[in-house]
């Protein structure tokens, strides 16, 4: 399937059948099940390194493609988003890269953005990203994403306006945490 080809090779095997919900907190597991049954809803997955955020985002992405064939869903890693901003700075609105083009064409989409905090943002990149997210928000786009940072920590590396645009395109936040050990 064309959409799945955009997933980096090492992520293609991940899906909901290979994710062990028993390894995460019971309340979180319930939110994850809900997330996977309504993949159209936009979710930000927070949590420690290696807890399974990317695995869950890929699972949601695949569920979304399977359940909502009419939806435009796109997978982007941090490097892919950085490349979009670089190309936009280089070419401008006459030859915009994919996401800017979809916004210009007024085609709403659901962006799957893995590792959104991994991108270093200069002041001009922050402003460019704000323009993109602002256009997306006005179109009714959604964003599902992963990050190791809390929203407060993200606020330290992103401008407040940019962070606001992100949160406006979310339906929920899931903090993925390990299953606590049995009480002694």
Residues contributing to the site for ligand ATP (CB under 6 A): 14, 18-20, 23-24, 47, 49-55, 115, 146, 148
Tell me whether residue 59 or residue 128 sits nearer to ligand ATP (CB atom): 59
Which one, 78 or 88, has the nearer CB to Mg ion? 78
Contact (Cβ atoms closer than 8 angstroms) between residue 110 and residue 71: yes
* Residue number, nearest CB to Mg ion: 54
Strand order across the 172-176 sheet: 73-77, 110-114, 142-147, 43-47, 172-176
The answer to the question of residue 54 lying near Mg ion (CB under 5 A) is yes
Residue 23 contact partner, candidates ligand ATP, Mg ion, none, CB within 5 to 8 A by sort of partner: ligand ATP
Choose from Mg ion, ligand ATP, none: what does 16 bind? Cβ within 5-8 Å by kind: none
CB under 5 to 8 A by kind: which of ligand ATP, Mg ion, none does 20 bind? ligand ATP
Check: CB of residue 36 under 8 Å from CB of residue 62. Answer: no
Task: Report the distance separating Cα 38 and Cα 43, nearest Å.
Answer: 10
Q: Residue 129 and residue 75: Cα distance in Å, rounded? A: 17
Cβ closest to ligand ATP, residue 103 vs residue 115: 115
The answer to whether 66 and 3 are in contact (CB under 8 A) is: no
Cβ-closest residue to ligand ATP? 52
Token pair 């949160």 in the structure block, residue = 167
**Strand, coil or helix: 79:** helix
Minimum CB distance to ligand ATP smaller for 88 or for 145: 145
| CA atoms of 146 and 138, how far apart (whole Å) | 22
Enumerate binding residues for Mg ion (CB under 5 A).
Answer: 53-54
């Amino acid at each position: 399937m064309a959409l799945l080809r955009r997933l980096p090779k090492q992520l293609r095997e991940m899906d909901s059948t290979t994710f062990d919900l028993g390894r995460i907190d019971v309340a979180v597991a319930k939110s994850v099940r809900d997330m996977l049954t309504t993949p159209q809803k936009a979710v930000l997955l927070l949590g420690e390194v290696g807890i399974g955020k990317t695995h869950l985002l890929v699972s949601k992405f695949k569920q979304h493609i399977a359940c909502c064939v009419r939806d435009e869903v796109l997978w982007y890693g941090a490097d892919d988003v950085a490349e979009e901003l670089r190309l936009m700075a280089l070419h401008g609105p006459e030859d915009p890269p994919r996401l800017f083009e979809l916004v210009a064409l007024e085609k709403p989409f659901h962006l799957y953005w893995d590792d959104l905090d991994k991108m270093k943002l200069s002041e001009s990149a922050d402003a460019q990203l704000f323009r993109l997210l602002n256009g997306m928000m006005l179109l009714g786009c959604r964003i599902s994403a992963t990050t190791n940072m809390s929203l407060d920590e993200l606020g330290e590396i992103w401008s407040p306006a940019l962070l606001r645009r992100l949160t406006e395109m979310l339906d929920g936040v899931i903090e993925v945490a390990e299953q606590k050990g049995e009480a002694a």
